[in-house]
């Protein structure tokens, strides 16, 4: 277990692991302290997500480029997937959808914008490989269309309309997963020369041995699942306590918590003038949630959820995803960035966050 | 008649001509066999469209570059125009509009996407002239705005609203035809050097003599008109028989049937690494329907239709046209293509087709 | 006062100054002649706007590049600001919003399109600096999102909805002004080398002495305020007389009147093959209204208006602003222009103008 302890000593984020047992203790001893549970579970998820992310990368590094790329591409958002699965099993479909849409928007706007800003404050102009940004932005565009079409076409809440939305959602989910699989074939196999080094692992960070990595992957996934259960339970109560709308919590808070580990890597890449890395993490992660995590959840809802979940999102969330995709397409078009590009992207995110924060409940 | 026979022997598509007399016989002998009529008329339209297309190109080739360009640009979608006119005279405005929107979307997404995919499976990366793609995409964008505005501005179904929509549709139609005429002046006359060889005729395909071409043009147009009449009559019955929604038939089936001949040319161009040709056929044809065929039908409805037809489309169709235009703009932005670009564009088309297929009738 | 008189003799536009006293006389002598007031106030505003614009530039030229840039960026649309303030004090919020949206759309489409067309009729192809166009288009995009979000998210006209819209509008206004200030820091200070000479003053036009410029600025602002009062009073009556809808008057007529002086500069730049100047005036002015004038008016409505004004626009106006922004982004993407690009952009404007002209009142 030496490398794991070394990692914990090196990475200050991992000191937060102490909140994992603290959460379980608090849940046992004070079962009604929902706000405390919420705060502790947020603090506990962050280091677990960082461990999951490192373990996935270590497995990926050991299994060769292509298999590793596929692993990274499917397990890279394992935290988001586990949180969403927990909410799915509890039948909290509004929270599932808000956290999915929020993760897409937060990765596309906040992670990308803050990377541009942090990089731009240090370097006058930064350049990055447009190829990858364009592929991920196109995939996001495709997913947004798939999510937009059911709402655009059917306004009816009739019985016929709901059967239609359900069937369509399954069909769209299969299409999206297919498109995602083909995009991996494209970027990892047939046209890999267009996609620069997208290795997430930092230089100097040695990958763990395979056994340790696999054990961590399994063990931490279980921990994330347990923590998520408390998190999903407490999140609505906490929202009331903090005076936040449920939309804001699902969209902004959950997304920031679930993506904390990736953000740390993206921002550190930007400060080291490796903007390729930052863009690839931010847009790649958003595309993965839109084309892999979301449709997988729709399909799993038939097995694990109380009722089937569809792909029809709240119209405001659809508009936000559409705008986020357009913003990413526009700003990554030139392959260059400076601080003001970051400001622009962050402003769009701020507009969304402010709107959701002020939104009266039940509208 | 020698070149015509030679053409028929060479081009396997033209063997389908045997279905033209078969259709007329079936219509006479079994007037109630609507599904049979539908199948036969689909099979009969495909070779007639191919003949019309070849005849138009032959006339164009004989009349010099500019006149020929104008001819190609106005008669290139004669099949779609005749089918739509038949439906117009029958007062089937929903079918007219669905087939127009469907032809725009099918040409922009299916024809373009399949060309990219077919070309990309043979060549690693293909390049093409961006100038033409950009012009056609801009024209499509303009037409989409013209079609979007009446719906965006007026939600009222009041009497005042309907007079407004009618007047506005005539005005917009005149504007669109004007813009189309100016685009021809631009691409054929003042700035022709930016638009590479957009000759549709395949190398090795000798144009017919002018007399034969003109006779074919006239004769086949009459045949298409007669076949269309049976087609329009039978299409609703057939939809019920095959379990397809009317929206799916108008949008997808009619569009694929009407454009079969052009698709053959576009796909063959892509396989020969002449992607300029494919892009120009696909987007040029879509722009022509949006800026020429559709407004001409609106104006003709005052002469030939039972009541005036307006430019206000079903909101779902407007959204699909808008997304198709945006997709074309995004993917042709770089002037390069590989197989995955084709997959992406086809996926958008598949999303639309699946949605229309599942859509419950009367929503 | 010599340079002022010289300017008046040189610039035929300024002969219209004679309509300023004419208007005040007419208002005194014939207080009921609303149509006359309207016509005279339109004719009087045009030369006053030209004077204001020249005075601002003279002050800017004397105060050095950065201070001058900020001055130009804040006072460049002083005419629009004063007209809107007058309408604001009168509580005519529909007119205020229509004139703001109209000024954004008119500058983005009419001023830009006519510049491209006028330049393109003289020069085969014109090139310009993309950097500035991209910055202004991005700012416009941001402002359009800020204006779109309140409508997209809240459909309720409930009391909770209106409190939400009010709070959100104040927050968005502060964000927009902040983004605008940062864009000045970016373009005037940290990355000024990317933005070519954007000096509006024509070569050969000597700036006025500072004292004269400041006196003109103060005096003419008062005159514009007085004329605007008559204009706002008479505009609704005039609309009825001329058979124009209020939407058309606010959106098209007011915007063309308020922007006449800037249009003269933009068009003259295009004819001299200085398209950088034209693009920078057109898009810069639109961005300034969207990110500075509009939010300042929202904030000022708390001090000067009868009730607070929000940022929620009529959905048709939001769609038009969004389309205008997308059009500007698309056509300035390449940094090249020819006459047909101008035609395309003007066609979009014509579609809007025709729609507003035909729109039945009270829809």
Give the tens place of pLDDT for each residue, A296-313: 999 999 998 888 998 888
- In which band, very low, low, confident or very high, does the pLDDT at A196 lie, cut at 50, 70 and 90? low
Q: State the nearest Cα–Cα gap between B55 and chain A, in angstroms.
A: 39
B149, C351: Cβ pair inside 8 Å? yes
Q: Which phi and psi (to 5°) does residue C156 adopt?
A: -80, 140
Chain B closest CA to A178's CA: distance in Å? Answer: 9
What is the predicted pLDDT for the residue at B198? 47
Please say whether the beta carbons of C258 and C103 come within 8 A. yes
Chain A positions touching B318 (Cβ under 8 A) are none
Name the region of B57 (left: φ>0; alpha: ψ -120 to 50; beta: rest): alpha
Q: Which residues from B are below 8 Å from A170, CB to CB? A: none
Q: E-assigned strands of chain C?
A: 126-127, 336-337
* Residues of chain A neighbouring B243 (CB-CB closer than 8 A): none
Mean pLDDT along residues C337-353: 95
Residue A201's pLDDT band, with cuts at 50, 70 and 90, is very low
A191:B330 CB<8 A? no
The residue written with tokens 């990692």 in the block is A7
Q: What is the mean pLDDT of residues C86-97?
A: 88
Number of Cβ within a 10 Å radius of residue B122 = 12
Nearest to A183 among B327, B340, B348 (CB): B340
Q: Are C236 and C246 in contact (CB under 8 A)?
A: yes
Q: Are strands B126-127 and B336-337 parallel, antiparallel or unpaired?
A: antiparallel
- C145–A contact, CB cutoff 8 A: yes
Whether C46 shows a pLDDT value over 70: the answer reads yes
- pLDDT on residue A198: 47
> What is the structure's pLDDT at C178?
95
List the structure tokens of B216: 């074919």
Using CA coordinates, name the residue in chain B closest to A186: B340
Cα–Cα distance measured from residue C341 to residue B147, given in angstroms and rounded to the nearest whole number:
20
Q: Which residues contact B64 (CB under 8 A, 6 or more apart)?
A: none
B210 within 8 A of B62, measured Cβ to Cβ: yes
Q: In terms of pLDDT, which residue wins out, C204 or C313?
A: C313
With contacts defined as CB-CB under 8 Å, which chain B residues touch A183? 340
- In sequence order, the β-bridge partners of residue C337 are C126
Tell me if A351 and C146 make a contact (CB, 8 A cut-off).
yes
Chain center to CA of A160 = 33
Closest CA to C164 of A360, A243, A351, A353: A360
- Contact criterion met (CB < 8 Å) for C339 and B167: no
Residue C191 has φ and ψ, to the nearest 5°, of -125, 35
The Cα-based distances of B360 to A153, A165, B256 in angstroms read 11, 10, 22
Would you write out chain B's pLDDT as a tens digit for each of its 363 residues?
577 777 777 777 778 889 999 999 999 999 888 889 999 998 898 888 888 888 888 887 777 767 777 777 777 788 888 888 988 988 888 889 999 999 999 999 999 999 999 999 999 999 988 888 888 899 999 999 998 888 777 655 566 678 888 899 999 999 999 999 999 899 888 888 777 654 444 444 567 888 888 898 888 888 988 998 888 888 878 888 888 887 888 888 888 888 887 888 889 889 989 888 888 889 989 999 999 999 999 999 999 888 899 888 888 899 999 999 999 998 988 888 999 999 999 999 999 999 999 887 654
In the predicted structure, residue A41 carries a pLDDT above the cut 60: yes
pLDDT at A343: 96
List of residues 6+ apart from B191 with CB closer than 8 A: C124, C125, C338, C340
A152 touches chain C (CB under 8 A): no
Q: Does the beta carbon of A138 lie under 8 angstroms from any beta carbon of chain B?
A: yes
Distance from CA of B61 to the nearest CA of C (A): 26
The answer to whether A136 touches A112, Cβ cutoff 8 Å, is no
Q: Which two tokens stand for residue B177?
A: 């035809």
**Whether B334 and A167 lie within 8 Å, measured CB to CB:** no
Closest alpha carbon within chain B to A147: B351
CA distance A289 to A143: 10
Q: Quick: pLDDT tens for C138-184.
A: 999 999 999 888 877 765 556 667 888 889 999 999 999 999 999 98
Dist. CA B308–CA B302, nearest whole Å = 5
Distance CA B263, CA B108 (A): 11
Dihedrals φ, ψ of B354, to 5°? -65, -45
Nearest to B186 among C340, C347, C360 (CB): C340
Q: Which two tokens stand for residue C239?
A: 């609309």
Contact C138 A347 (CB under 8 A): no
Chain A residues in contact with B125 by the CB 8 A cut-off are 191
Residues shown for chain B: 363
Residues A121 and A340: their CA atoms lie apart, in Å, by 9
Among candidates A125, A330, A363 on the partner chain, residue whose Cβ is nearest the Cβ of C138: A330
Give the pLDDT confidence score for residue C100 in this predicted structure: 93
Mean pLDDT over C340-344 rounds to 95
* Residue closest to A245 by CA, chosen among A363, A333, A79: A363
Averaged confidence pLDDT in chain B = 86
How far B314 CA sits from the closest chain A CA (Å)? 9
Q: How far is C171 from chain A (nearest CA, A)?
A: 8
Work out the average pLDDT over A104-117.
95
Q: How far apart are CA C118 and CA C273, in angstroms?
A: 10
DSSP string, B1-37: -HHHHHHHHH-GGGGGGGHHHHHHHHHHH-TT-HHHH
Residues of chain A with Cβ-Cβ distance to C186 below 8 Å are: 338-340, 343
- Comparing alpha-carbon positions, the chain A residue that sits nearest to C163 is A360
pLDDT at site B141: 93
Residues of B in contact with A135 (CB under 8 A): 340
- How many CB pairs below 8 A link B and C? 77
d(CA A70, CA A76): 10
Asked if C155 reaches chain B (Cβ–Cβ under 8 Å), the answer is no
| Nearest CA-CA distance, residue C357 and chain A, Å | 29
Q: Which residues of A touch B124 (CB under 8 A)?
A: 191
What does the pLDDT look like over B252-310, one tens digit per residue? 888 888 888 788 888 988 998 988 888 888 998 999 999 999 999 999 999 988 889 98
Record: contact C348-B183, CB cut-off 8 A: no
Dihedral of CA C36/C38/C39/C44: which sign? positive
- pLDDT tens string C109-128: 999 999 999 999 999 999 98
Per-residue pLDDT reduced to its tens digit, C281-332: 899 899 999 999 999 999 999 998 888 998 888 888 999 999 999 999 989 8
Instruction: List the beta bridge partners of residue A126.
Output: A337
B contact test, residue of C324, C342, C355 with most B CBs within 10 A: C355
Select the residue of B141, B164, B183 nearest C358 (Cβ to Cβ): B164
How does pLDDT run across B109-149, given as a tens digit for each residue?
A: 999 999 999 999 999 999 988 888 888 899 999 999 998 88
Helix, strand, or coil (residue A358): helix
Contact C141 A358 (CB under 8 A): no
The first and second tokens of residue B148, run together, are 């979007």
Residue C237 to chain B, least CA–CA distance (Å): 22
Are the beta carbons of A339 and A116 closer than 8 angstroms? Answer: yes
Residue B337 DSSP label: E
Three-state DSSP class for residue A337: strand
Compute the C-alpha angle B248/B251/B252, nearest 5°.
Answer: 75
Q: Inspect the interface and report whether the beta carbons of C360 and B190 lie closer than 8 Å.
A: no
Confidence of residue C237 (pLDDT cuts 50, 70, 90): confident
ipTM score assigned to the predicted complex? 0.89
Chains that touch C (3 or more CB pairs under 8 A): A, B
C340 interface with B at CB cutoff 8 Å: yes
Give yes or no for a contact between C280 and C286, defined as CB atoms under 8 angstroms apart: no
C351 with B175: Cβ contact below 8 A: yes
- Is C154 within 8 Å of chain A by CB? yes
Find the closest chain C residue to B154 by CA distance.
C363
Q: Does B156 touch chain A (CB under 8 A)?
A: no
Q: What is the pLDDT of residue C157?
A: 57
């Amino acid at each position: 277990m030496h490398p794991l302890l070394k990692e914990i000593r090196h990475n200050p984020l991992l000191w937060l692991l102490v909140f994992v047992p603290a959460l379980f203790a608090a849940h046992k001893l004070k079962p009604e302290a929902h706000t405390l549970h919420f705060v502790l579970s947020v603090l506990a998820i962050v280091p677990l997500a960082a461990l999951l992310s490192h373990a996935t990368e270590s497995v990926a590094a050991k299994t060769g480029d292509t298999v590793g790329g596929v692993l990274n591409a499917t397990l890279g958002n394992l935290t988001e997937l586990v949180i969403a699965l927990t909410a799915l099993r509890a039948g909290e479909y509004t929270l599932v959808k808000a956290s999915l849409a929020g993760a897409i928007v937060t990765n596309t706007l906040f992670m990308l914008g803050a990377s541009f800003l942090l990089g731009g404050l240090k370097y006058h102009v930064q350049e990055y490989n447009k190829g990858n940004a364009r592929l991920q932005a196109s995939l996001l565009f495709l997913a947004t269309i798939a999510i937009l079409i059911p709402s655009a076409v059917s306004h009816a809440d009739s019985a016929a309309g709901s059967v239609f939305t359900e069937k369509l959602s399954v069909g769209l989910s299969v299409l999206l997963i297919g498109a995602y699989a083909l995009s991996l074939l494209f970027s990892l196999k047939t046209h890999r020369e267009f996609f620069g080094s997208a290795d997430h692992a930092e230089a100097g960070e040695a990958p763990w041995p395979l056994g340790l990595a696999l054990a961590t992957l399994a063990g931490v996934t279980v921990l994330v699942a347990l923590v998520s259960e408390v998190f999903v339970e407490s999140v609505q109560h906490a929202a009331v306590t903090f005076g936040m709308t449920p939309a804001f919590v699902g969209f902004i808070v959950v997304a920031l918590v679930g993506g904390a580990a990736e953000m740390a890597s993206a921002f550190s890449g930007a400060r080291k003038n490796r903007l390729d890395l930052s863009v690839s993490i931010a847009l790649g992660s958003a595309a993965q949630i839109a084309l892999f995590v979301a449709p997988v959840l729709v399909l799993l809802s038939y097995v694990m959820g109380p009722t089937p979940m569809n792909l029809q999102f709240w119209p405001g969330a659809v508009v936000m995803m559409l705008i986020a995709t357009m913003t990413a397409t526009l700003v990554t078009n030139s392959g260059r960035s400076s601080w003001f590009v970051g400001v622009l992207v962050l402003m769009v995110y701020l507009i969304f966050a402010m709107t959701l924060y002020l939104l009266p409940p039940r509208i």
